[in-house]
Amino acid sequence: MRFAPIIAIPVQAADSVNSAAIPTENILNVSAQLVATGSAAGTLKFQCSNDNPVAGNTPPTNWSDIPSATVSVSGAGVFLIPDTAICYQWVRLVYANSGTGTFGVMVKTVGF
């Protein structure tokens, strides 16, 4: 098994943001941890895409929410999307902000 930590969203001022597409070839499971300060509020969720990779590394354009891979953020603290089995070409994180402060998101993948 191979474990890989990924800084999906670097620490930044609270704002709505989509992470970059994360290729998931040989990845079986993902989790995400958001660390927030201040009066953070919002929702973090995983999305997936099965768009085929094309020459020139064109990012995927078609995204779907992964059911049950969501966490509500309310205040300063640490929030987790637990271990989620995946079978997609790409994943990304989407944070819909409604608060203030800072936040950052770390993703952990397990694969072979």
Looking at the chain, how many residues does it have? 112
Tell me how many helices (H) and strands (E) the chain has: 0, 9
Give the predicted TM-score (pTM) of the model.
0.93
One-letter amino acid for residue 8 of the chain: A
Write down the CATH number for the domain with range 2-51+63-111: 2.60.120.380
Instruction: Give the Cα separation of 94 and 17 in Å (integer).
Output: 6
Q: Which of 34, 33, 40, 32 is nearest to 76 (CA)?
A: 40
Domain ranges of the chain: 2-51+63-111
Taking only the tens of pLDDT, the chain with its 112 residues reads: 778 899 999 999 999 999 999 999 899 999 999 999 999 999 999 999 999 877 667 789 999 999 999 999 999 999 999 999 999 999 999 999 999 999 999 999 999 8
